[in-house]
Amino acid sequence: MALAAHPTPHDAPPAAPAPLRATRGERAVCAGLALAAFALLGISLWLDPSPAGVGTHQALGMPACGWMQGFNFPCPTCGMTTAFSLAAHGSLLASAYVQPMGFVLAVGTAATALVCTHVALTGSRLGHVLGARLTPRVLLVLGILALLAWGWKVALVRGFVPPLGSMQ
């Protein structure tokens, strides 16, 4: 009685190779993301950043921040619109000073616009390569940075660090 041979790893079928180009669907998604990112940056450029470091969003018809009105305490996203607007105007240091996480997100939005445009136009797999780098650890670090940026904004509002206008 012959024993059946057990399959070895050498007998396993080869894995399908990764496609060399982005699919039509991936390219369409990237085109949509690029348009959204460019729209956000365009609106940020259109806005005049508030010299106070907060309140730029009110030019879009939004109300003043309820946290600031009720508690004289900034919300976690306080100054993000101002930071985006400053970054879009090329004032990168001022953007980072006003709201560090807003600066990081503005730069990330610009990078997204460029990478997604490249993928949509060329079919490059660059989006996959960069997307694979967005690990839970990276997201945790971004979350911690967001909390630290909020702490910085609280320090600015409370007067523990000088306001941006006094630095120029």
What does the angle CA 120 – CA 126 – CA 129 come to, to the nearest 5 degrees?
A: 140
Q: Which residue has the higher pLDDT, 8 or 31?
A: 31
Instruction: With respect to residue 111, please indicate whether it lies within any of the assigned structural domains.
Output: yes
Q: Is residue 35 part of a domain?
A: yes
pLDDT (0 to 100) of residue 37 = 98
Mean pLDDT of the chain: 87
Report pLDDT digits (tens) over 44-70: 999 999 888 888 898 888 888 888 888
CA angle 34, 42, 108 (to 5 degrees): 50
Residue 48 domain flag: yes
Residue 91 in any domain: the answer is yes
18 located within any domain: no
Number of domains observed in the structure of the chain: 1
Interval 64-108: pLDDT, tens: 888 888 888 888 989 999 999 999 999 999 999 999 999 999 999
Task: With beta carbons less than 8 A apart as the criterion, state whether 55 and 85 touch.
Answer: no
Whole-model pTM above 0.75?
yes
Residue 153 lies in a domain: yes
Q: How many whole angstroms separate alpha carbon 131 and alpha carbon 159? A: 39
| Residue 10 belongs to some domain of the structure | no
Q: What angle do CA 72, 157, 40 make, to 5 degrees?
A: 95
Residue 45: give the domain boundaries.
23-57+74-167
Q: Stretch 28-51: mean pLDDT, rounded?
A: 95
Helices marked H in the chain — which ranges? 24-46, 66-71, 80-88, 92-98, 100-122, 126-131, 136-158, 164-167
Residue 67 within any structural domain of the chain: no
pLDDT band at 168 (very low <50, low <70, confident <90, very high): very low
